[in-house]
Amino acid sequence: MKTESNLEKMFNAGHFAVTGELGPPKSANLETTLHHAEEMRNHVDAYNITDNQTAIVRTSSIGVAANLVQRGMEPVVQMTCRDRNRICLQADLLGAVSFGALNFLCLQGDHGNFGNETGCKNVYDLDSTQLIQAVKNMRDDGVFVGGDKLEHPLPKVFIGAVANPFADPFEYRALRLAKKIAAGAEFVQTQCIFDLDRFEKWMEQVRELGLHKKVKIMGGVTPIKSVGAARYMQNNVSGMIVPEELVQRIKGAEDKKKEGLNFAIETIKRLQEIEGVHGVHIMAIAWEEIVPEIVERAGLYPRPAVN
Amino acid sequence: MIVGERKPLAEIAELLEPFRKILVLGCGTCVTVCLAGGEKEAAETASALAVLRKKAGKEAEIDTQTMVRQCEYEFIDEDKDKLDNYDAILSLACGVGVQTMTTRLPEKIIMPGLNTTFMGYPLEQGVWTENCLGCGDCELGLTMGICPITRCSKSMMNGPCGGSQEEKCEVSKDVDCAWHLIYERLLKLGMAGRMAVIQPPKNWATSHHGGPRTSVREDVRLENGK
Ligand code: SF4
Ligand code: SF4
Protein backbone atom coordinates (compact mmCIF):
# COMPACT_ATOMS: atom_id res chain seq x y z
CA MET A 1 0.00 0.00 0.00
CA LYS A 2 1.56 3.28 -1.12
CA THR A 3 -0.32 6.18 0.35
CA GLU A 4 1.95 9.14 0.71
CA SER A 5 0.93 11.99 2.89
CA ASN A 6 0.20 15.32 1.31
CA LEU A 7 3.15 16.77 3.21
CA GLU A 8 5.51 14.17 1.82
CA LYS A 9 4.21 14.75 -1.69
CA MET A 10 4.74 18.46 -1.27
CA PHE A 11 8.39 17.87 -0.44
CA ASN A 12 8.85 15.34 -3.20
CA ALA A 13 7.42 17.76 -5.74
CA GLY A 14 10.12 20.21 -4.66
CA HIS A 15 7.74 22.74 -3.11
CA PHE A 16 8.58 24.77 -0.02
CA ALA A 17 6.16 23.20 2.46
CA VAL A 18 4.10 25.04 5.04
CA THR A 19 2.65 23.57 8.22
CA GLY A 20 0.75 25.29 10.99
CA GLU A 21 0.72 24.40 14.64
CA LEU A 22 -2.44 23.65 16.57
CA GLY A 23 -2.36 23.54 20.35
CA PRO A 24 -5.29 21.49 21.70
CA PRO A 25 -7.37 22.98 24.52
CA LYS A 26 -7.59 22.02 28.18
CA SER A 27 -11.05 20.59 27.54
CA ALA A 28 -12.84 18.33 25.10
CA ASN A 29 -14.42 21.28 23.36
CA LEU A 30 -12.47 21.60 20.12
CA GLU A 31 -14.53 24.40 18.64
CA THR A 32 -11.78 27.03 18.81
CA THR A 33 -9.05 24.65 17.67
CA LEU A 34 -11.08 23.53 14.68
CA HIS A 35 -12.02 27.11 13.92
CA HIS A 36 -8.30 27.96 13.77
CA ALA A 37 -7.76 24.97 11.54
CA GLU A 38 -10.51 26.19 9.18
CA GLU A 39 -8.97 29.67 9.09
CA MET A 40 -5.69 28.33 7.75
CA ARG A 41 -7.16 25.53 5.64
CA ASN A 42 -6.00 27.00 2.33
CA HIS A 43 -2.70 28.28 3.67
CA VAL A 44 -1.02 25.22 5.16
CA ASP A 45 -0.21 21.79 3.78
CA ALA A 46 -0.69 20.04 7.11
CA TYR A 47 -1.40 20.76 10.76
CA ASN A 48 1.10 19.88 13.43
CA ILE A 49 -0.73 19.12 16.67
CA THR A 50 1.14 19.35 19.94
CA ASP A 51 1.10 16.48 22.41
CA ASN A 52 0.50 17.83 25.93
CA GLN A 53 3.04 20.54 25.23
CA THR A 54 5.13 21.73 28.19
CA ALA A 55 3.61 18.80 30.07
CA ILE A 56 0.22 20.46 30.38
CA VAL A 57 -2.81 18.18 30.10
CA ARG A 58 -4.86 18.87 27.01
CA THR A 59 -6.91 16.99 24.45
CA SER A 60 -4.54 14.51 22.89
CA SER A 61 -2.78 15.16 19.61
CA ILE A 62 -4.42 12.03 18.20
CA GLY A 63 -7.87 13.18 19.32
CA VAL A 64 -7.53 16.45 17.41
CA ALA A 65 -5.97 14.61 14.46
CA ALA A 66 -9.07 12.39 14.16
CA ASN A 67 -11.26 15.48 13.99
CA LEU A 68 -9.06 17.00 11.30
CA VAL A 69 -9.09 13.87 9.16
CA GLN A 70 -12.90 13.85 9.32
CA ARG A 71 -12.81 17.36 7.88
CA GLY A 72 -10.39 16.46 5.11
CA MET A 73 -7.42 18.15 6.75
CA GLU A 74 -4.01 16.51 7.13
CA PRO A 75 -2.53 16.16 10.60
CA VAL A 76 1.05 15.74 11.76
CA VAL A 77 0.61 13.82 14.99
CA GLN A 78 3.16 14.64 17.66
CA MET A 79 4.19 11.78 19.90
CA THR A 80 6.30 12.40 22.97
CA CYS A 81 8.08 9.73 24.99
CA ARG A 82 7.18 11.37 28.28
CA ASP A 83 3.70 9.99 28.85
CA ARG A 84 3.63 6.59 27.18
CA ASN A 85 5.68 3.45 27.23
CA ARG A 86 6.51 1.46 24.11
CA ILE A 87 3.26 -0.49 24.30
CA CYS A 88 1.14 2.62 24.25
CA LEU A 89 3.26 4.50 21.71
CA GLN A 90 3.01 1.67 19.22
CA ALA A 91 -0.69 1.12 19.93
CA ASP A 92 -1.46 4.82 19.51
CA LEU A 93 0.45 4.91 16.25
CA LEU A 94 -1.65 2.04 14.92
CA GLY A 95 -4.81 3.73 16.16
CA ALA A 96 -3.90 6.99 14.45
CA VAL A 97 -3.01 5.26 11.19
CA SER A 98 -6.36 3.45 11.36
CA PHE A 99 -8.25 6.72 10.89
CA GLY A 100 -5.89 8.06 8.24
CA ALA A 101 -3.09 9.93 10.01
CA LEU A 102 0.19 9.48 8.16
CA ASN A 103 2.64 12.03 9.52
CA PHE A 104 4.19 11.44 12.90
CA LEU A 105 6.58 13.70 14.72
CA CYS A 106 8.58 11.77 17.32
CA LEU A 107 9.98 13.74 20.21
CA GLN A 108 11.20 13.36 23.74
CA GLY A 109 8.81 15.86 25.30
CA ASP A 110 9.31 18.55 27.90
CA HIS A 111 9.94 17.15 31.35
CA GLY A 112 6.88 16.71 33.58
CA ASN A 113 8.39 19.23 36.00
CA PHE A 114 7.19 22.04 33.75
CA GLY A 115 3.50 21.44 33.53
CA ASN A 116 0.31 21.23 35.52
CA GLU A 117 0.88 17.69 36.80
CA THR A 118 4.25 18.11 38.43
CA GLY A 119 3.72 15.03 40.58
CA CYS A 120 3.49 12.79 37.50
CA LYS A 121 5.65 9.82 36.70
CA ASN A 122 7.77 10.61 33.65
CA VAL A 123 7.81 7.51 31.47
CA TYR A 124 10.73 7.82 29.05
CA ASP A 125 10.72 4.11 28.28
CA LEU A 126 11.96 4.82 24.74
CA ASP A 127 13.85 7.95 23.85
CA SER A 128 13.05 10.01 20.77
CA THR A 129 15.70 8.30 18.63
CA GLN A 130 14.42 4.88 19.64
CA LEU A 131 10.83 5.92 18.91
CA ILE A 132 11.83 7.06 15.42
CA GLN A 133 13.47 3.69 14.86
CA ALA A 134 10.49 1.83 16.29
CA VAL A 135 8.12 3.52 13.82
CA LYS A 136 10.50 2.80 10.96
CA ASN A 137 10.78 -0.84 11.95
CA MET A 138 7.00 -1.18 12.18
CA ARG A 139 6.62 0.32 8.73
CA ASP A 140 9.58 -1.20 6.87
CA ASP A 141 10.00 -4.55 8.57
CA GLY A 142 6.56 -5.08 10.05
CA VAL A 143 7.93 -5.69 13.54
CA PHE A 144 7.23 -4.20 16.92
CA VAL A 145 10.01 -3.18 19.30
CA GLY A 146 9.80 -6.52 21.10
CA GLY A 147 10.20 -8.47 17.86
CA ASP A 148 6.59 -9.57 17.40
CA LYS A 149 5.14 -9.10 13.92
CA LEU A 150 2.37 -6.78 12.79
CA GLU A 151 -0.58 -8.72 11.38
CA HIS A 152 -0.85 -6.37 8.41
CA PRO A 153 1.71 -4.04 6.90
CA LEU A 154 1.66 -0.44 8.06
CA PRO A 155 0.80 2.10 5.33
CA LYS A 156 3.59 4.40 4.37
CA VAL A 157 3.78 6.71 7.33
CA PHE A 158 6.04 9.75 7.13
CA ILE A 159 8.44 9.94 10.05
CA GLY A 160 9.36 13.24 11.61
CA ALA A 161 11.74 14.39 14.30
CA VAL A 162 12.68 17.63 15.95
CA ALA A 163 16.03 19.39 15.89
CA ASN A 164 17.16 22.25 18.03
CA PRO A 165 20.05 24.29 16.66
CA PHE A 166 19.79 26.53 19.72
CA ALA A 167 20.56 23.83 22.25
CA ASP A 168 24.01 22.73 23.36
CA PRO A 169 26.57 21.34 22.79
CA PHE A 170 26.19 23.35 19.58
CA GLU A 171 28.86 21.51 17.61
CA TYR A 172 27.03 18.25 18.26
CA ARG A 173 23.62 19.41 17.06
CA ALA A 174 24.09 18.57 13.37
CA LEU A 175 25.47 15.16 14.36
CA ARG A 176 22.41 14.66 16.52
CA LEU A 177 20.27 15.22 13.44
CA ALA A 178 22.42 12.70 11.56
CA LYS A 179 21.68 10.15 14.26
CA LYS A 180 17.94 10.74 14.01
CA ILE A 181 18.16 10.37 10.22
CA ALA A 182 20.04 7.10 10.66
CA ALA A 183 17.22 5.99 12.97
CA GLY A 184 14.63 6.75 10.29
CA ALA A 185 13.67 10.44 10.40
CA GLU A 186 12.47 11.72 7.03
CA PHE A 187 11.45 15.23 7.95
CA VAL A 188 12.50 17.44 10.76
CA GLN A 189 11.03 20.47 12.40
CA THR A 190 13.30 22.91 14.21
CA GLN A 191 12.84 24.90 17.38
CA CYS A 192 11.58 28.47 16.79
CA ILE A 193 14.22 30.47 14.94
CA PHE A 194 14.98 33.91 16.31
CA ASP A 195 18.75 33.74 16.02
CA LEU A 196 19.19 33.41 12.28
CA ASP A 197 22.96 33.59 12.39
CA ARG A 198 23.15 30.56 14.62
CA PHE A 199 20.59 28.78 12.49
CA GLU A 200 22.65 29.41 9.38
CA LYS A 201 25.78 28.16 11.10
CA TRP A 202 23.92 24.99 11.99
CA MET A 203 22.68 24.64 8.43
CA GLU A 204 26.29 24.94 7.22
CA GLN A 205 27.18 21.95 9.39
CA VAL A 206 24.09 20.13 8.17
CA ARG A 207 25.14 20.66 4.57
CA GLU A 208 28.73 19.67 5.28
CA LEU A 209 27.39 16.34 6.48
CA GLY A 210 25.09 16.14 3.46
CA LEU A 211 22.07 15.79 5.73
CA HIS A 212 19.92 18.25 3.78
CA LYS A 213 19.82 15.67 0.99
CA LYS A 214 18.58 12.95 3.31
CA VAL A 215 15.93 14.75 5.31
CA LYS A 216 13.37 17.47 4.71
CA ILE A 217 14.08 20.37 7.03
CA MET A 218 11.32 22.69 8.18
CA GLY A 219 12.37 25.83 9.99
CA GLY A 220 10.24 26.73 13.00
CA VAL A 221 8.88 30.27 13.00
CA THR A 222 6.89 32.01 15.70
CA PRO A 223 5.54 35.54 15.28
CA ILE A 224 6.22 37.52 18.45
CA LYS A 225 3.20 39.46 19.66
CA SER A 226 4.73 41.66 22.32
CA VAL A 227 7.87 42.54 24.23
CA GLY A 228 6.53 40.47 27.13
CA ALA A 229 6.20 37.40 24.93
CA ALA A 230 9.74 37.88 23.64
CA ARG A 231 11.10 38.23 27.17
CA TYR A 232 9.15 35.21 28.32
CA MET A 233 10.62 33.03 25.60
CA GLN A 234 14.05 34.50 26.24
CA ASN A 235 13.99 33.64 29.92
CA ASN A 236 11.53 30.84 30.52
CA VAL A 237 11.32 28.51 27.56
CA SER A 238 13.93 25.79 27.57
CA GLY A 239 16.08 25.38 24.50
CA MET A 240 15.32 28.77 22.94
CA ILE A 241 17.53 31.70 22.03
CA VAL A 242 15.89 35.10 21.61
CA PRO A 243 18.65 37.61 20.86
CA GLU A 244 18.49 40.83 22.89
CA GLU A 245 18.77 42.73 19.61
CA LEU A 246 15.40 41.33 18.52
CA VAL A 247 13.76 42.22 21.82
CA GLN A 248 15.05 45.77 21.46
CA ARG A 249 13.83 45.96 17.88
CA ILE A 250 10.30 45.09 18.98
CA LYS A 251 10.56 47.35 22.00
CA GLY A 252 11.59 50.27 19.81
CA ALA A 253 8.79 49.82 17.30
CA GLU A 254 5.63 51.88 17.45
CA ASP A 255 3.42 48.94 16.54
CA LYS A 256 5.03 46.05 18.39
CA LYS A 257 2.70 43.42 17.02
CA LYS A 258 3.39 44.52 13.48
CA GLU A 259 7.14 44.47 14.09
CA GLY A 260 6.98 40.92 15.46
CA LEU A 261 5.01 39.91 12.41
CA ASN A 262 7.47 41.62 10.08
CA PHE A 263 10.32 39.73 11.69
CA ALA A 264 8.53 36.41 11.24
CA ILE A 265 7.93 37.15 7.56
CA GLU A 266 11.53 38.26 7.03
CA THR A 267 12.65 35.02 8.66
CA ILE A 268 10.52 32.88 6.36
CA LYS A 269 11.79 34.75 3.33
CA ARG A 270 15.35 34.19 4.47
CA LEU A 271 14.67 30.52 5.13
CA GLN A 272 13.53 30.13 1.54
CA GLU A 273 16.96 31.32 0.42
CA ILE A 274 18.94 28.90 2.58
CA GLU A 275 20.12 25.81 0.75
CA GLY A 276 18.69 22.71 2.36
CA VAL A 277 15.66 24.27 4.06
CA HIS A 278 12.56 22.66 2.59
CA GLY A 279 9.73 24.28 4.44
CA VAL A 280 8.45 26.29 7.34
CA HIS A 281 6.49 25.29 10.39
CA ILE A 282 4.54 28.26 11.72
CA MET A 283 3.86 28.21 15.43
CA ALA A 284 1.56 31.15 16.00
CA ILE A 285 0.71 30.23 19.54
CA ALA A 286 -2.41 32.11 20.70
CA TRP A 287 -2.26 34.05 17.43
CA GLU A 288 -3.41 31.39 15.00
CA GLU A 289 -5.59 33.77 12.96
CA ILE A 290 -2.46 35.52 11.70
CA VAL A 291 -1.18 32.45 9.82
CA PRO A 292 -2.87 33.24 6.47
CA GLU A 293 -1.38 36.72 6.42
CA ILE A 294 2.09 35.37 7.21
CA VAL A 295 1.88 32.78 4.45
CA GLU A 296 0.65 35.31 1.94
CA ARG A 297 3.20 37.97 2.79
CA ALA A 298 6.01 35.41 2.75
CA GLY A 299 5.10 34.69 -0.85
CA LEU A 300 3.93 31.16 -0.18
CA TYR A 301 0.32 31.56 -1.27
CA PRO A 302 -1.49 29.99 -3.01
CA ARG A 303 -0.34 26.58 -1.89
CA PRO A 304 0.49 24.33 -4.81
CA ALA A 305 -1.71 21.30 -5.39
CA VAL A 306 -0.09 17.87 -5.45
CA ASN A 307 -1.48 14.44 -6.06
CA MET B 1 25.75 4.85 49.56
CA ILE B 2 22.08 5.16 50.37
CA VAL B 3 21.14 8.75 51.10
CA GLY B 4 18.22 9.81 53.22
CA GLU B 5 16.71 12.81 54.91
CA ARG B 6 14.98 12.82 58.23
CA LYS B 7 11.23 13.20 58.01
CA PRO B 8 9.79 16.43 59.35
CA LEU B 9 9.33 16.22 63.10
CA ALA B 10 5.59 16.83 62.84
CA GLU B 11 5.18 13.80 60.60
CA ILE B 12 7.24 11.66 62.97
CA ALA B 13 5.15 12.87 65.90
CA GLU B 14 1.99 11.92 64.06
CA LEU B 15 3.30 8.44 63.25
CA LEU B 16 4.20 7.89 66.90
CA GLU B 17 1.16 9.56 68.39
CA PRO B 18 -0.47 6.37 69.73
CA PHE B 19 2.71 5.11 71.45
CA ARG B 20 4.21 5.98 74.82
CA LYS B 21 7.42 3.97 75.15
CA ILE B 22 9.45 4.78 72.11
CA LEU B 23 12.91 3.81 70.91
CA VAL B 24 14.62 6.01 68.36
CA LEU B 25 16.98 3.64 66.60
CA GLY B 26 19.85 5.01 64.55
CA CYS B 27 21.68 3.03 61.91
CA GLY B 28 25.46 3.02 61.84
CA THR B 29 26.15 2.72 58.15
CA CYS B 30 25.04 4.79 55.12
CA VAL B 31 22.66 7.12 56.93
CA THR B 32 25.30 7.86 59.55
CA VAL B 33 27.68 8.95 56.83
CA CYS B 34 25.04 11.13 55.18
CA LEU B 35 24.18 12.68 58.56
CA ALA B 36 20.53 11.66 58.46
CA GLY B 37 20.05 8.74 60.81
CA GLY B 38 23.15 8.00 62.89
CA GLU B 39 23.73 8.17 66.62
CA LYS B 40 23.81 11.97 66.67
CA GLU B 41 20.60 12.33 64.68
CA ALA B 42 18.89 9.72 66.85
CA ALA B 43 19.70 11.74 69.97
CA GLU B 44 18.53 14.99 68.36
CA THR B 45 15.33 13.42 67.13
CA ALA B 46 14.58 11.86 70.52
CA SER B 47 14.99 15.10 72.43
CA ALA B 48 13.02 17.14 69.91
CA LEU B 49 10.23 14.59 70.00
CA ALA B 50 10.23 14.57 73.81
CA VAL B 51 9.80 18.34 73.87
CA LEU B 52 6.98 18.16 71.37
CA ARG B 53 5.16 15.44 73.30
CA LYS B 54 5.53 17.31 76.54
CA LYS B 55 4.10 20.46 74.97
CA ALA B 56 1.19 18.43 73.66
CA GLY B 57 0.55 17.15 77.16
CA LYS B 58 1.20 13.60 76.04
CA GLU B 59 4.52 12.79 77.58
CA ALA B 60 6.44 9.85 76.22
CA GLU B 61 9.36 7.78 77.40
CA ILE B 62 11.93 8.01 74.65
CA ASP B 63 15.23 6.12 74.51
CA THR B 64 17.85 6.02 71.80
CA GLN B 65 20.16 3.30 70.48
CA THR B 66 22.15 2.79 67.33
CA MET B 67 22.54 -0.50 65.48
CA VAL B 68 25.58 -1.24 63.33
CA ARG B 69 23.29 -2.00 60.40
CA GLN B 70 19.53 -2.47 60.37
CA CYS B 71 19.60 -4.11 56.96
CA GLU B 72 21.12 -7.44 58.02
CA TYR B 73 19.63 -10.13 60.25
CA GLU B 74 23.02 -10.73 61.81
CA PHE B 75 23.13 -7.26 63.37
CA ILE B 76 19.47 -7.21 64.24
CA ASP B 77 19.85 -10.51 66.10
CA GLU B 78 22.84 -9.18 68.02
CA ASP B 79 20.82 -6.26 69.43
CA LYS B 80 17.44 -7.95 69.54
CA ASP B 81 17.19 -8.20 73.33
CA LYS B 82 17.75 -4.50 73.76
CA LEU B 83 14.71 -3.75 71.61
CA ASP B 84 12.15 -5.28 73.93
CA ASN B 85 9.82 -3.25 76.12
CA TYR B 86 9.01 -0.54 73.59
CA ASP B 87 5.59 0.24 72.16
CA ALA B 88 7.20 1.36 68.95
CA ILE B 89 10.59 1.79 67.35
CA LEU B 90 11.33 4.78 65.19
CA SER B 91 13.93 3.52 62.77
CA LEU B 92 16.28 6.11 61.36
CA ALA B 93 17.57 3.57 58.84
CA CYS B 94 16.74 3.73 55.16
CA GLY B 95 13.67 1.95 53.81
CA VAL B 96 15.76 -1.20 53.46
CA GLY B 97 16.56 -1.16 57.15
CA VAL B 98 12.99 -0.47 58.22
CA GLN B 99 11.74 -3.43 56.21
CA THR B 100 14.51 -5.81 57.21
CA MET B 101 13.71 -5.00 60.84
CA THR B 102 9.99 -5.53 60.24
CA THR B 103 10.64 -8.89 58.59
CA ARG B 104 12.98 -10.08 61.31
CA LEU B 105 10.95 -8.74 64.22
CA PRO B 106 7.35 -9.04 63.03
CA GLU B 107 5.97 -8.67 66.56
CA LYS B 108 7.38 -5.16 66.83
CA ILE B 109 6.08 -1.92 65.44
CA ILE B 110 8.76 -0.20 63.36
CA MET B 111 8.05 3.27 62.02
CA PRO B 112 10.14 5.06 59.37
CA GLY B 113 11.92 8.17 60.56
CA LEU B 114 13.66 8.93 57.27
CA ASN B 115 12.72 9.55 53.70
CA THR B 116 15.09 7.39 51.70
CA THR B 117 16.02 9.62 48.82
CA PHE B 118 18.53 7.94 46.53
CA MET B 119 21.77 6.11 45.90
CA GLY B 120 24.54 8.61 45.53
CA TYR B 121 27.61 10.21 47.01
CA PRO B 122 28.67 13.37 48.81
CA LEU B 123 29.51 16.01 46.25
CA GLU B 124 30.86 18.39 48.89
CA GLN B 125 30.33 18.91 52.60
CA GLY B 126 26.57 18.89 53.13
CA VAL B 127 25.62 18.11 49.52
CA TRP B 128 24.76 14.67 48.20
CA THR B 129 23.90 13.79 44.66
CA GLU B 130 22.11 10.89 43.02
CA ASN B 131 24.01 8.89 40.43
CA CYS B 132 22.60 5.36 40.17
CA LEU B 133 19.07 4.02 39.89
CA GLY B 134 20.11 0.40 40.08
CA CYS B 135 18.74 -0.37 36.63
CA GLY B 136 20.22 -3.85 36.64
CA ASP B 137 22.08 -3.50 33.36
CA CYS B 138 24.86 -0.99 33.79
CA GLU B 139 25.49 1.32 30.84
CA LEU B 140 28.51 3.11 32.28
CA GLY B 141 30.83 1.29 29.92
CA LEU B 142 29.13 2.99 26.98
CA THR B 143 29.12 6.45 28.43
CA MET B 144 32.47 6.13 30.18
CA GLY B 145 31.35 6.55 33.73
CA ILE B 146 28.44 9.00 33.60
CA CYS B 147 25.01 7.46 34.04
CA PRO B 148 22.47 8.61 31.43
CA ILE B 149 19.67 6.71 33.14
CA THR B 150 20.01 8.53 36.44
CA ARG B 151 21.68 11.80 35.65
CA CYS B 152 19.74 12.66 32.51
CA SER B 153 16.32 13.84 33.70
CA LYS B 154 14.72 12.01 30.78
CA SER B 155 16.93 8.90 30.93
CA MET B 156 17.91 9.43 27.33
CA MET B 157 20.16 6.85 25.73
CA ASN B 158 21.06 8.57 22.48
CA GLY B 159 22.32 12.03 23.24
CA PRO B 160 21.11 15.32 24.64
CA CYS B 161 17.55 16.55 24.26
CA GLY B 162 16.71 19.97 22.89
CA GLY B 163 16.51 21.47 26.35
CA SER B 164 20.23 21.26 27.09
CA GLN B 165 21.68 24.76 27.26
CA GLU B 166 24.96 26.05 28.59
CA GLU B 167 25.78 22.66 30.12
CA LYS B 168 22.63 22.67 32.24
CA CYS B 169 19.56 20.47 32.18
CA GLU B 170 16.21 21.92 31.18
CA VAL B 171 14.64 20.91 34.48
CA SER B 172 16.88 23.18 36.55
CA LYS B 173 19.85 25.47 36.26
CA ASP B 174 21.24 23.61 39.28
CA VAL B 175 21.40 20.30 37.43
CA ASP B 176 24.19 19.53 35.00
CA CYS B 177 23.11 18.11 31.66
CA ALA B 178 24.36 14.54 31.82
CA TRP B 179 24.64 14.32 28.06
CA HIS B 180 26.73 17.44 27.89
CA LEU B 181 29.07 15.83 30.40
CA ILE B 182 29.10 12.55 28.48
CA TYR B 183 29.80 14.36 25.22
CA GLU B 184 32.70 16.30 26.69
CA ARG B 185 34.13 13.20 28.29
CA LEU B 186 33.93 11.08 25.15
CA LEU B 187 35.51 13.92 23.21
CA LYS B 188 38.39 14.10 25.69
CA LEU B 189 38.90 10.34 25.53
CA GLY B 190 38.88 10.36 21.73
CA MET B 191 35.66 8.33 21.74
CA ALA B 192 33.21 10.91 20.38
CA GLY B 193 32.32 8.47 17.60
CA ARG B 194 30.27 6.60 20.16
CA MET B 195 27.71 9.40 20.14
CA ALA B 196 26.68 8.29 16.65
CA VAL B 197 25.88 4.70 17.63
CA ILE B 198 22.16 4.19 18.06
CA GLN B 199 21.47 2.56 21.39
CA PRO B 200 18.45 0.26 21.11
CA PRO B 201 15.53 0.42 23.54
CA LYS B 202 16.67 -0.49 27.01
CA ASN B 203 15.47 -3.67 28.62
CA TRP B 204 13.80 -2.24 31.71
CA ALA B 205 12.86 -5.72 32.90
CA THR B 206 16.19 -5.89 34.72
CA SER B 207 15.18 -2.79 36.66
CA HIS B 208 12.33 -2.37 39.11
CA HIS B 209 9.98 -2.34 36.12
CA GLY B 210 10.41 -6.10 36.00
CA GLY B 211 8.93 -6.34 39.51
CA PRO B 212 10.76 -6.53 42.86
CA ARG B 213 14.14 -8.09 42.30
CA THR B 214 16.00 -10.84 44.11
CA SER B 215 19.62 -11.64 43.49
CA VAL B 216 20.75 -15.25 43.97
CA ARG B 217 24.35 -16.46 44.12
CA GLU B 218 24.15 -20.24 44.19
CA ASP B 219 27.92 -20.54 44.71
CA VAL B 220 27.85 -18.84 48.09
CA ARG B 221 24.45 -20.05 49.25
CA LEU B 222 24.25 -22.12 52.42
CA GLU B 223 21.88 -25.00 52.86
CA ASN B 224 18.56 -24.16 54.53
CA GLY B 225 19.35 -20.50 54.06
CA LYS B 226 21.37 -20.45 57.29
S1 SF4 C 1 23.40 2.40 34.12
FE2 SF4 C 1 22.05 1.48 35.65
S3 SF4 C 1 23.38 0.40 37.08
FE4 SF4 C 1 24.70 1.75 35.84
S5 SF4 C 1 24.89 3.61 37.07
FE6 SF4 C 1 23.14 3.92 35.71
S7 SF4 C 1 21.34 3.21 36.83
FE8 SF4 C 1 23.16 2.46 37.90
S1 SF4 D 1 18.95 18.68 29.34
FE2 SF4 D 1 20.45 17.02 29.35
S3 SF4 D 1 20.16 15.97 31.33
FE4 SF4 D 1 18.39 17.29 31.01
S5 SF4 D 1 16.87 15.94 30.09
FE6 SF4 D 1 17.96 16.95 28.39
S7 SF4 D 1 19.64 15.58 27.86
FE8 SF4 D 1 18.87 14.92 29.85
Whether A178 has its CB under 8 Å from any CB of chain B: the answer is yes
In chain A, domain spans: 6-297
Q: Whose CA is nearest to atom 5 of ligand 1?
A: B132
Instruction: Give the ligand 2 atom nearest the CA of B180.
Output: 2
Find the A224 Cα to ligand 2 centroid distance in Å: 27
Find the B193 Cα to ligand 1 centroid distance in Å: 22
Find the A130 Cα to ligand 2 centroid distance in Å: 16
pTM beyond 0.90: yes
Between residues 208 and 247 of chain A, which touch chain B (CB distance below 8 Å)? 238-239
pLDDT tens for each residue of A113-135: 989 999 999 999 999 999 999 99
Within A141-220, residue ranges assigned H as helices are 173-183, 196-208
DSSP secondary structure, B73-140, as one string: HHHHHHHGGGG-S-SEEEE-S-HHHHHHHHHH-TTS-EEE-EEEEEEEEEEETTEEEEEE---SS--H
- Cβ separation A125–B201 shorter than 8 A: yes
Whether A136 has its CB under 8 Å from any CB of chain B: the answer is no
Nearest partner of B162 among A230, A89, A81, judged by Cα: A81
| Half-sphere exposure for B204 (CA within 13 Å, toward CB) | 17
Q: Is the CB of B149 under 6 A from ligand 1?
A: yes
We find that the CATH architecture of domain B2-118 is 3-Layer(aba) Sandwich (3.40)
Cα gap B102→A172, rounded to integer Å:
51
- Cβ separation A127–B165 shorter than 8 A: no
Quickly state the pLDDT bin for A2 (edges 50, 70, 90): low
Nearest C-alpha in A relative to B209 = A125
Q: Is the CB of B142 under 6 A from ligand 1?
A: no
> Residue B153: nearest ligand to its CA?
2
- Cβ separation A169–B183 shorter than 8 A: yes
Instruction: Give the ligand 1 atom nearest the CA of B136.
Output: 3
Residues B85/B43, Cβ–Cβ less than 8 Å: no
Contacts of A179 in chain B (CB under 8 A): 158-159, 195-196, 198
Residues B100/B71, Cβ–Cβ less than 8 Å: yes
- Which residues in chain B are classed under CATH 3.40.50? 2-118
Q: Where does residue A277 fall: left (phi above 0), alpha (psi -120 to 50 degrees), or beta otherwise?
A: beta
Q: Kindly give the confidence (pLDDT) of every residue in chain B, 226 residues in length, as a single tens digit, with 9 standing for 90 and above.
A: 999 999 999 999 999 999 999 999 999 999 999 999 999 999 999 999 999 999 999 999 999 999 999 999 999 999 999 999 999 999 999 999 999 999 999 999 999 999 999 999 999 999 999 999 999 999 999 999 999 999 999 999 999 999 999 999 999 999 999 999 999 999 999 999 999 999 999 999 999 999 999 999 999 998 765 5
Nearest C-alpha in A relative to B199 = A130
Nearest C-alpha in B relative to A108 = B161
ipTM above 0.90, yes or no: yes
Q: How many DSSP H helices and E strands does chain B contain? A: 8, 9
Residues A150/A117, Cβ–Cβ less than 8 Å: no
Q: Give, as one character, the DSSP assignment of residue B155.
A: -
- Cβ separation B171–A113 shorter than 8 A: yes
Between residues 194 and 213 of chain B, which touch chain A (CB distance below 8 Å)? 195-196, 198-202, 204
Q: What is the mean pLDDT of chain A?
A: 97
- Given this model, what pLDDT does residue A1 score? 44
Residues A158/A188, Cβ–Cβ less than 8 Å: no
Ligand 2 pocket mutation, candidates B150, B155, B171, criterion most atoms within 8 A of CB: B171
pLDDT tens for each residue of B194-221: 999 999 999 999 999 999 999 999 999 9
Q: Is the CB of B132 under 6 A from ligand 1?
A: yes
Cα gap A45→A43, rounded to integer Å:
7
Cα gap B54→B50, rounded to integer Å:
6
pLDDT tens for each residue of A267-295: 999 999 999 999 999 999 899 999 999 99
We find that the CATH architecture of domain A6-297 is Alpha-Beta Barrel (3.20)
Contacts of B172 in chain A (CB under 8 A): 113
pLDDT tens for each residue of A148-191: 999 999 999 999 999 999 999 999 999 999 999 999 999 999 99
> Within 10 Å of residue B75's Cβ, how many Cβ atoms?
19
Exposure of B34 by Cβ count < 10 A (0-12 exposed, 13-18 middle, 19+ buried)?
Answer: buried
Interface with A, mutate which of B151, B158, B180 (most A CBs under 10 A): B158
Cα gap B135→B210, rounded to integer Å:
10
